[in-house]
């Protein structure tokens, strides 16, 4: 059985849920996700700890979340942690790929620390299609070393900071981290443009 384990760190209530059938929330991204049959969507401002053991879509709200992909099977896990200060642990399973959605248009200010991104994983940054080199820098968060991406949408808006633990600016130069733009066609007026950050092999 597919399950999500959820601990509400605000109310100290824990539980297990099978989630809901996946409702094709991600169609506007036009990305080839595979294996997603269930979703867990909880837009509460509470602070949540969410763990999934299956290909799935997870979306949370304005709390400070910790979201862990513990999927052991083939397929994709897509995580939209919302605003706040969030920690996302990608799967170590080489047949499970993570895509982390950062909505810089709607959810900033935010800080997402993303751990364990591996070959085939992605970060989708909504609201922009380019990122100046000045907004990409090596950084330390606590004891972790990584790459900090700082995004403002619009340019005068609050910051969305994305920390890619274990990665660095050299990987941008060598092509291990690639950046590509998606601009929705006129037939998709509700969709947002985005920048896709991809971890190459």
Selection from 4, 88, 5, 86 nearest residue 45 by Cα: 86
Check pLDDT > 70 for residue 77.
yes
Give residue-wise pLDDT tens across range 41-76: 999 999 999 999 999 999 999 999 999 999 999 999
Check pLDDT > 90 for residue 3.
no
Contact 124, 160 (CB under 8 A): no
Give residue-wise pLDDT tens across range 106-137: 999 999 999 999 999 999 999 999 999 999 99
Task: Tell me the C-alpha to C-alpha distance, in Å, between residue 101 and each of 14, 124, 143, 179.
Answer: 25, 5, 25, 14
Interval 9-14 mean pLDDT: 95
């Amino acid at each position: 059985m597919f399950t999500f384990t959820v601990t509400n760190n605000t109310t100290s209530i824990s539980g297990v849920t099978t989630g809901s059938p996946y409702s094709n929330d991600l169609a506007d991204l036009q990305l080839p996700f595979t294996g997603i049959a269930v979703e867990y969507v909880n837009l509460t401002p509470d602070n949540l700890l969410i763990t999934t053991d299956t290909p799935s879509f997870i979306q949370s709200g304005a709390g400070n979340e910790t979201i862990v992909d513990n999927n052991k099977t083939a397929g994709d896990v897509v995580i939209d942690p919302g605003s706040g200060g969030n920690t996302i642990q990608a799967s170590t399973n080489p047949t499970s790929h993570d895509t982390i959605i950062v909505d810089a248009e709607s959810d900033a200010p935010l800080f997402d620390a993303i751990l364990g991104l591996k070959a085939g994983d992605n970060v989708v940054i909504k609201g922009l299609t380019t990122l100046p080199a000045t907004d990409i820098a090596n950084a330390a968060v606590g004891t972790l070393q990584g790459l900090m991406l700082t995004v403002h949408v619009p340019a005068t808006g609050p910051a969305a900071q994305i920390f890619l633990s274990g990665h660095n600016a050299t990987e941008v130069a060598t092509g291990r981290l690639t950046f590509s733009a998606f601009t929705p066609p006129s037939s998709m007026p509700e969709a947002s443009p985005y920048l896709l950050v991809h971890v190459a092999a």
